[in-house]
Structure 1
């Protein structure tokens, strides 16, 4: 049986094999789809992520377009319940995400890399998001049949959406869309035992989470 851990490694290997031209072309195409999506649902408060150097759709153009089109932009910071004093979703203190409002593209460019992944993150004193209209998330793999998302395994976004529902009880959870390269998409169910087949280029599609 193919496990999620094995599948995650295989997909990451496929993504690492992508050349710079493919990465640039697919990231640009995705940014255009995102722009159209945001306009179609009239999203004003959009959460995005700062892409890692490898393995994730590059989000620089997406973020630039958000500012150009007048959206409010929110980026994540990884913190810990012992630091943030947020409620715990597990028995022990644990890491979780907080999204902060970026006032300008210059502010984004001035963010410094921090943490084990050397991601550029907002500082803790910057205003936190109180509500969101759309959340753009990264992912390692996606099932083109069901839209199921597989992340990096840390559970940050699962935690975030669960936390959001609790903090905004009675409100609708914001729609979320995952951005991925074609090599991240496969016709395979986590519950099935056969090896994934057909790594289709589906960067024009977005799969709703939850």
Structure 2
């Protein structure tokens, strides 16, 4: 779905060129990790890109999004397994969506995802694992969540439509909009 979402290629390339660790989403069958919940057909994990060359070697999936080879999944560093256990959390998490809107009361960003719950489930598992390992220190905190939105995906508070919010949805601390506008809830 490359035409319906912000293109992240330059963000990924810049981060890798700056020596940052970059993790990308990988969707896999829930049975691969021994999930016993039969209602969950697939899950998302964030896996590490090893280098710019690694990123450039990725094949495009049916939506045109660079995707790792399933055969390399087990050899890659996974955020929920290795990174948190080594005391290395994420600095920031960028999340896609169909629509975004700033909540007028909290100033946080409401996000409407694609309906599969991959990011909400991952974020819940990340926070659960993060807190269960006792990792919250001054050096390692739960990372802020930022949305990446095309101008057409942003609903202002003046719009008649409203982004729905359910109890399992995560609010975002910021939003970068394709017209160059940036919203940060802490400012």
Task: State the TM-score, normalizing by the size of structure 2.
Answer: 0.68
Partners of 2:181 and 2:154 in 1: CA distance: 11
**Cα displacement string for residues 19-57 of structure 1 (whole angstroms, at most 9, x for unaligned residues):** xxxxxxxxxxxxxxxxxxxxxxxxxxxxxxxxx422010
8 Å contact from structure 1 (residues 133, 174) kept in 2 = yes
- CA separation of 1:54/1:201 partners in 2, compared to 1, >3 Å: closer, same or farther? closer
- CA separation of 1:202/1:63 partners in 2, compared to 1, >3 Å: closer, same or farther? same
- CA separation of 1:93/1:73 partners in 2, compared to 1, >3 Å: closer, same or farther? same
- CA separation of 1:135/1:167 partners in 2, compared to 1, >3 Å: closer, same or farther? same
Q: CA deviation at 1:102?
A: 0.9
Residue 15 of structure 2 corresponds to 66
Partners of 1:98 and 1:76 in 2: CA distance: 6
**Cα displacement string for residues 186-209 of structure 1 (whole angstroms, at most 9, x for unaligned residues):** 124346xxxxxxxx976422467x
Residue 138 of structure 1 corresponds to 96
Residue 205 of structure 1 corresponds to 182
Partners of 1:190 and 1:67 in 2: CA distance: 33
- CA separation of 1:141/1:82 partners in 2, compared to 1, >3 Å: closer, same or farther? same
Partners of 1:112 and 1:84 in 2: CA distance: 23
Q: Secondary structure at the match of 1:173?
A: coil
Structure 1: give runs of 5+ residues left out of the alignment.
Answer: 1-51, 192-199
Residue 163 of structure 1 corresponds to 125
8 Å contact from structure 2 (residues 149, 178) kept in 1 = no
Bigger helix share: 1
Residue 17 of structure 1 corresponds to none
Task: State the TM-score, normalizing by the size of structure 1.
Answer: 0.61
Structure 2: give runs of 5+ residues left out of the alignment.
Answer: 84-88, 165-176
**Cα displacement string for residues 59-85 of structure 1 (whole angstroms, at most 9, x for unaligned residues):** 111111101222111111101220122
Find the partner of 1:121 among 67, 75, 91: 67
| Root mean square deviation, CA, Å | 2.4
Q: How many residues align?
A: 146
Q: Secondary structure at the match of 1:168?
A: helix
